[in-house]
Amino acid sequence: MNREEYLNAVAAELRGLTSYERAAVRRELEGHIEDHAEALRAHGYPEDEAEARAAERMGDPAETGRGIARLYHPAWLWAERVAGALIAVMALELFLGFGGLGGVAGSVYARFCKPDDAHVTALDERMEIGNDVVRLYGINRYSDGQEDGVELWLCAYDRVPTGVVAQNIWGWSAVTANGEERVRYADGGGWSNARVTYCHIKVPLEPGDKTVALRFERFGEAVERAVDLTEVLP
């Protein structure tokens, strides 16, 4: 029995293997036979005889084939196919959702950002509410002719950079001075997305106000923080 005949006899027993697996098994056996035949040729055996002896040393081809086929359980083939399909779907998800990584960068940036206006005093006051953190990162005085007050520069992000922030967090905020609610105007600002949100809040002040208090209240959680105004007041 030469090499080809041996390999064909083994292949006949490899039922249930995919064409890729059959080819791989064939290559593997072919390699073993070739290694052995090469050693025999080095010992002076003629080409044909070296190959025939090497094939013979591989054992009964039918038994070898059945033994190999037993190693290829169909359940693992299905597991491999399911996992392959999942990888394909996840790769598509990655492609479609790749832009979400920009939000993670935005969330990290919000932890260290400073006001981009020279007239704003940089602060770094953090309040934790639930999973989110509200950060007061700047404060400045404003005067629009009718009223004087302070403008608070705020951002909010999840404690974990990959987490999402409550989008309506500014809706549950209250700013008080001397116990009165004073928010006159609030708007966005900065680069808001699902993971970070920015807000500027204007608080009109009256003579004698030395602090304002930021309060967040939501579903049983309430957090309050007083902000000292001495640095920005004349």
Partner 1 sequence: MRNVKRLYTRRARALRRAAVALALLLFCNVVLHIGYLLPIQAIRLVEESEGVYEPTRAVMKQWRPNMMHLTDRLYLNEGEHSLSLGCTHLTPLGWDDSFVWPGDAFDGGDVQAGVVDMSRKGHERLLVFYGRVRGTEDVTLTANAVRRDWDDAAQTERIRVYGHGVGEEDCLVRGGYTYFIFVEPDPVMEKLQQFPTSYQLVVNRGEEHFSCDIERTASVLWG
Instruction: Name which position in 12, 39, 62, 71 contacts partner 1 (CB under 8 A).
Output: 71
Please check whether residue 132 is in contact with residue 167, taking contact to mean a CB–CB distance below 8 angstroms: no
Binding residue for partner 1, selected from 76, 124, 210, 233, defined by CB under 8 A: 76
Dist CA 133 CA 161 (whole Å)? 11
Picking from 197, 129, 139, the residue whose alpha carbon sits closest to that of residue 159 is: 129
Q: Which of residues 174-233 bind partner 1 (CB under 8 A)?
A: 194, 218-221
Q: Residues 7 to 36: which contact partner 1 by CB under 8 A?
A: 21, 24-25, 27-28, 31, 34-35
Least distance in angstroms from the C-beta of 86 to partner 1: 4
Q: C-beta of 190: minimal distance to partner 1 in Å?
A: 18
Binding mask 96-135 for partner 1 (x = CB under 8 A): xxx-xx--x------------------------xxxx---
Q: Which is nearer to partner 1, 42 or 118 (CB)?
A: 42
Measured distance CA(121)–CA(75) in Å, rounded:
65
Q: Are strands 221-228 and 211-218 parallel, antiparallel or unpaired?
A: antiparallel
Locus of tokens 């006159």: 184
Up-side HSE of residue 215: CA atoms within 13 Å toward CB? Answer: 15
Write down the least CB distance from residue 130 to partner 1, Å: 3
**Nearest distance in Å: CB 141, partner 1:** 31
Question: Is 80 one of the binding residues for partner 1 (CB under 8 A)?
Answer: yes
Q: Please, how many CA atoms are within 13 Å of residue 57, restricted to the half-sphere of its CB? A: 16
Give which of 150, 174, 165 is closest to 110, Cα–Cα.
Answer: 165
Distance CA 56, CA 33 (A): 9
Binding partner 1 by CB under 8 A: which of 84, 124, 144, 210? 84
Structure tokens at 108: 């990290």
Instruction: Tell me phi and psi for residue 71, to 5 degrees.
Output: -70, -20
Residues contributing to the site for partner 1 (CB under 8 A): 21, 24-25, 27-28, 31, 34-35, 71-73, 76-77, 79-80, 83-84, 86-87, 89-94, 96-98, 100-101, 104, 129-132, 158, 162-169, 172, 194, 218-221
